[in-house]
Chain A
């Protein structure tokens, strides 16, 4: 069974690697966005799915990464690949500053603090016009290489998922899940919960920073309302929940199913599509708390490394 899955994985990756050679511009763009959502949903999963600490402002890291990378490219002339990593680093620094105090708190405090963080980052980015262009936004030099961004985004999605695999199957991951189940017990067993949560949070913030940087490069133009909308956080959460939070492949599955549906059906109905996302959250929490993968696991006894 393990070899079948591994084989399918290698075959799938090979096909995705060759895909831009045969696909249309729209096709490449479609997959690029799918990769973006996989990486984002997976990054939310790393903190919220594993530790139970809900981040309602994860888009703050996406936006911070986008602006950091945007400034590095537009002002300092960095190559987009290095700039995106810089975006990830900036997000991790922000995560440290905010996570160090807030992760010591009980879950609900953390959740709302993160909701505030996103608002505050948007306000700050609009306020410091000299650096960010304020409400007018920031334009990057033109680039004709969305295929390169396709590979970079795919690599990021793959890296975060591989990281999720590594963490979930490790002792570190087990400790994080212990915190989710019973934090007091975890503490009593000698787990340094504050430090574990902080590490998970830093890893979880780095990825959306890189994704934000690649997004900025791909779009060529960023503005506060485009990179700090609550809608991005909502989408990450819905995708991770729908596929199955706390699992390795759940966020990937959720992102794939929902992104395809969204592109093919709902994109035409802007508000209805958001309302539908709200309804999905409600239904999943009430009736399918472990997501699609959870239901499949119950029915088919899938191996643990799924």
Chain B
């Protein structure tokens, strides 16, 4: 396979990579948050994203609500769902062997996916809004991806500001660095867990609502997103929040490069291969320090 690489193509790959990378960063930040404070890999993270996508789909089709406006609904609703799941179930397995927390979130994921299948069937659904592309010189920007990029960057920055500057954000970071010490310093660790799960779910939901406008959605789409989010936090170093942002961009670029030089089909296999290689060389991720 011989491909003539022109500067325009390189530009397109970089632009597309950054556009999808921002979305990956936002969604993965949620997973990093849960892993950071609770040491739980939430296998249901992609499933919450799928629920966000269906919220947008449903509102668009039933009430004709602008899909971007539905972010204002999907995020708070999934925040509440996240809080409820943490309070009722995940809380009970936080200090249990990791087998328990993995299996529990796996069970939650299956139950939710199939509830959605019952409600909406497995057919592909789409939200036809903002189609087409914006052509600037030799580079095409898909309009829905561009808007999604804007929202993703804004929401990620907001979440990041919240973690860095607010009292509660500091409590979250303190808990991820050492739950015992945080507790001694007066942090209500149980409440941190509750809110971290809620915030993470809201971030995933935002991703879902934005994705719904970009591509067709179906109930089992979440699995791939769980895997991608995990890939991102591995690339960036698990529990490392700036790392999650960098990891998202990296994954976006890697995927675009792979689908450009190989095929879109194989880009997933390439991403997987990279995960295995990274883990081989650096088991704690590219920016990761401490192995826990």
Contact = CB atoms under 8 A, between A and B. Distances in A.
If over half of B's interface residues share one DSSP class (helix, strand or loop), that class is named, otherwise mixed; here it is helix
B269 A275 contact: no
Size category of the B interface is: 35 or more
Interface string B126-139: 00000000000000
A289 interface: yes
A180 B290 CA distance: 22
A214 B117 CA distance: 31
A102 B230 CA distance: 14
Interface in B238-291: 263, 265-266, 268-269, 272, 275-276, 279-280, 283, 291
Given A101-B279, A112-B41, A274 B114 contact: yes
B275 A289 contact: no
A108 B266 CA distance: 25
A277 B102 contact: no
Given A115-B223, A279-B111, A286-B89, A101 B276 contact: yes
Interface stretch (B5-13, B91-99, B192-200): B91-99
A230 B223 contact: yes
B1 to A, nearest CB: 14
Interface in A280-304: 280-282, 285-286, 289
B234 interface: yes
Interface string A260-289: 000000000001101101111110011001
A112 B230 CA distance: 7
B111 to A, nearest CB: 3
Interface stretch (A8-16, A76-84, A118-126): A118-126
A48 B269 CA distance: 25
B227 interface: yes
A112 B108 contact: no
B67 to A, nearest CB: 26
A52 B111 contact: no
Contacts of A104: 280, 283
B54 to A, nearest CB: 15
B41 A108 contact: yes
Given A120-B269, A237-B103, A241-B103, A115 B227 contact: yes
Nearest to B228: A116
Contacts of A106: 98, 283, 291-292
Contact of B265 (A102, A127, A274): A127
A116 B110 contact: no
Contacts of A280: 107
A220 interface: no
Given A116-B272, A127-B265, A48 B99 contact: yes
A107 B226 CA distance: 16
A16 B30 CA distance: 52
Contacts of B77: none
Contacts of A117: 272
Contact of A113 (B98, B108, B115, B279): B279
B102 A279 contact: no
Given A119-B224, A285-B93, A54 B99 contact: yes
A128 to B, nearest CB: 10
A201 to B, nearest CB: 15
A123 B265 contact: yes
Contacts of B97: 52, 180
Residue from A48, A112, A289 with most neighbouring chain B CB atoms (10 Å) = A112
Contacts of A108: 35, 41, 98, 102
B43 interface: yes
Contact of A124 (B104, B109, B224, B269): B269
Sorted from nearest, which 10 A-B pairs have the closest CB atoms? A281-B107, A278-B111, A278-B110, A275-B114, A108-B41, A282-B107, A274-B114, A271-B117, A112-B230, A101-B280
Interface of B: 35, 41, 43, 89, 92-93, 97-100, 102-104, 106-115, 117-118, 220, 223-224, 226-227, 230-231, 234, 263, 265-266, 268-269, 272, 275-276, 279-280, 283, 291-292
7 contacts: A105-B279, A108-B35, A116-B275, A234-B110, A275-B114, A278-B111, A281-B110
Interface of A: 48, 52, 54, 56, 98, 101-102, 104-109, 111-113, 115-117, 119-120, 123-124, 126-127, 180, 230, 234, 237, 241, 271-272, 274-275, 277-282, 285-286, 289
Given A107-B99, A278-B110, A279-B111, 8 more contacts: A52-B97, A104-B280, A111-B41, A113-B275, A115-B227, A116-B231, A278-B114, A286-B92
